[in-house]
């Protein structure tokens, strides 16, 4: 799957994993490590070329698998920079868990929100969930801007050295606005 979109006056492409992008991928991960390390357990202080290539090969193999994560890469129109990535992990019954990250050099410009909205719209019968830390305001703002609704708060479910004890926020997005909701999701946030 590949498509073009305009965001913030820039022409971007959203595409499936391509091992040919391994150098751009390596650069995006390395420059973004300080921001990613706060909330993403997989972040590394330095990603090598070999690690970037290996990860993209695995992502390509998983993309068309029924059980693998589909990773959509947001790429600058010239193909030189990776702007970010959106991952969809299948959970059965047309449900997905969403994850995303942005290249720090391109964050805060609306690119990820525009791409996320477009990707989710290509699955009109699906329901999407995502979780984030109560300390991750950027992720919370992105979720809300893309149309996700906060449905549950797990109190004191996370701990990190940098942020201390944090809550986990659970968000839901139904591509069809008339999707059936659980009793907990009907108009209120559940705190547990």
- In the chain, the number of structural domains is 1
Domain, as residue range, for 28? 2-191
d(CA 161, CA 87): 26
pLDDT at 98 over 90: yes
For the entire predicted model, the pTM comes to 0.88
pLDDT at position 177, please? 54
CATH of the domain at 80: 3.40.630.30
Q: Round the average pLDDT of the chain to a whole number and report it.
A: 91
Please report which confidence band the pLDDT of residue 36 belongs to, taking 50, 70 and 90 as the band edges. Answer: confident
More confident residue, 147 or 40: 147
């Amino acid at each position: 799957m590949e498509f073009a979109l305009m965001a913030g006056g820039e022409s971007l492409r959203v595409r499936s994993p391509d091992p040919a992008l391994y150098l751009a991928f390596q650069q995006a991960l390395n420059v973004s490590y300080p921001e990613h390390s706060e909330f993403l357990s997989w972040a590394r202080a330095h990603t090598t070329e070999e690690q970037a290539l290996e990860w993209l090969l695995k992502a390509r193999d998983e993309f068309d698998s029924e059980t693998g994560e589909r990773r959509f890469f947001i790429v600058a129109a010239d193909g030189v920079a990776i702007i970010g990535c959106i991952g969809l992990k299948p959970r059965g019954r047309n449900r997905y868990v969403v994850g995303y990250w942005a290249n720090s050099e391109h964050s805060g410009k609306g690119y990820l929100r525009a791409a996320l909205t477009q990707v989710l719209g290509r699955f009109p019968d699906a329901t999407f969930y995502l979780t984030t830390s109560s300390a991750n305001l950027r992720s919370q703002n992105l979720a809300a801007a893309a149309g996700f609704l906060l449905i549950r708060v797990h109190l004191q479910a996370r701990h990190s050295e940098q942020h201390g004890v944090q809550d986990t926020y659970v968000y839901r997005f139904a591509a069809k606005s008339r999707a059936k909701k659980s009793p907990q999701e009907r108009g209120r946030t559940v705190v547990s």
